[in-house]
Amino acid sequence: MCADDSPGGYPPAVLHDAEPTIQIELEPVDSVVVTTLMDNVTDIFMPDQGPARRAGPAGGSRLAAVMAGGQAPDALIAEHGFSVLVTVAKAGREHRFLFDAGTSPDGVVDNMRRLDIDPGSIEAIVCSHGHFDHTTGLDGLIRVLGRTSMPVLIHPHFWRRRRITLPGREPLEIPTTSRQALTGAGFDIIEEQQPSFLFERSVLVTGEVPRTTGYEPGFPPQQAWLGGSWQADPLVLDDQALIINVKGKGLVVITGCGHAGVVNIASYARRLTGSQPLYALLGGFHLNGPLFEPLIPRVLDDLAAMNPGVLVPAHCTGWRAQHAMSARFPAAYTPNTVGTSFHL
């Protein structure tokens, strides 16, 4: 990567040598349903589209003294955060797990109640990375579940204390997820840097994603508290994604905040699985603001080469990238909303 490509004058991302295709025996599943429990957008009027089935207006009601009947709809809530519930079906059996948990302590569990989803049906949790907008909702989940030995899959850097340094502003420390809180709740914490499986090889958790494009910079403003001082930590190496191979269709790839770079992630998913076709790509792609918007044309070109059938940019993708993807991929592009279930 040429230094001139580095956005905002931050150090360039480390470019790993392209590695050969690795064949990991991910077993095809019969179907997968991805239900958005938390995202930045809610919209009760958005229609169904392709595999996306919308939740529609709230079924339940809540007390509201300002209303004539004392009741108002118990509406789904959106926030700057991300969480999806993933259900995979294979040979007549279903498994269900949570990927990320949103920003507010109770947002995800409250939306689960509104969607009539039983938190007790979750068998495992995968966290895309340690940032608070993907983990804080574990708080409400712990209160609803009580003590649990449920596995939580994370990368070892998940626990890093971090801050954001933007030019002309004071550094802003961001909340760190508490190891003590998660172990205290009883969770079986599984830290893994390498790819790992869930549910008899039905789901592949990428672990650390090699940064092969050279132009996706991670998150340049980030620093971590390491060895007693703040040090540059732009790569967010804890950023991991999910890969599921749907029989006869191809790969479903789900990103959290996409700090590893959405092209790096999608390319790695294909490389890990013997170059299966990219069927659906969903999640946060992190292409917002002046640091990342210049990357949009290259990202779109590289995604076009992978020809995704379903493209669902969510959360931190940013409005310019959303509009550009809608124009470039009119058939695949599907907007997300809280409560939407993608039947893939």
Provide, rounded to whole angstroms, the least separation between the CB of residue 128 and Fe ion.
8
Provide, rounded to whole angstroms, the least separation between the CB of residue 316 and Fe ion.
5
Q: List C-alpha distances in Å: 208 to 236, 242, 254, 264, 299.
A: 9, 11, 14, 11, 20
Stretch that binds Fe ion, among 58-66, 116-124, 206-214, 257-265 (CB under 5 A): 257-265
**Cβ distance to Fe ion smaller for residue 133 or 208:** 133
**Cβ distance to Fe ion smaller for residue 219 or 279:** 219
x-or-dash pattern for Fe ion, window 298-337, by CB under 5 A? ------------------x---------------------
25-64 residues in contact with Fe ion (CB under 5 A) are: none
**Cβ distance to Fe ion smaller for residue 79 or 272:** 79
3-state secondary structure of 53: strand
**Cβ distance to Fe ion smaller for residue 110 or 133:** 133
Q: Label residues 140-179 b or e (16+ Cβ within 10 Å = b).
A: bbbebbeebebebbbbebbbbebbeeeeeeeeeeeebbee
**Cβ distance to Fe ion smaller for residue 51 or 130:** 130
Three-point CA angle 22, 24, 25, nearest 5°? 150
Stretch that binds Fe ion, among 70-78, 182-190, 252-260, 306-314 (CB under 5 A): 252-260
x-or-dash pattern for Fe ion, window 121-160, by CB under 5 A? ------------x---------------------------
Stretch that binds Fe ion, among 213-221, 239-247, 250-258, 298-306 (CB under 5 A): 250-258
Among 142, 257, 260, 269, binds Fe ion (CB under 5 A): 257
3-state secondary structure of 289: helix
**Cβ distance to Fe ion smaller for residue 46 or 316:** 316
* 86 phi/psi in degrees, rounded to 5: -115, 125
Provide, rounded to whole angstroms, the least separation between the CB of residue 296 and Fe ion.
18
Residue 2: its H or E element: none
**Cβ distance to Fe ion smaller for residue 295 or 316:** 316
* Sheet containing 222-226, strands listed edge to edge, beginning at the edge strand earlier in sequence: 172-174, 162-164, 222-226, 229-232
SS3 per-residue string spanning 317-342: HCHHHHHHHHHHCCCCECCCCCCCEE
Task: Confirm or reject binding of residue 239 to Fe ion (CB under 5 A).
Answer: no
Strands (DSSP E) contained in 218-323 are 222-226, 229-232, 242-246, 250-255, 278-284, 310-314
Residue 14: its H or E element: none
- Taking the CA atoms of residue 275, residue 277, residue 282 and residue 288 in that order, the dihedral angle to the nearest 10 degrees is 70
Provide, rounded to whole angstroms, the least separation between the CB of residue 60 and Fe ion.
28
Number of residues that bind Fe ion (CB under 5 A): 3
- Using Cβ positions, the residue closest to Fe ion within the complex turns out to be 257
Q: How many CA atoms lie within 13 A of 180 on its CB side?
A: 0
Residue 187: its H or E element: none
Residues that bind Fe ion (CB under 5 A): 133, 257, 316
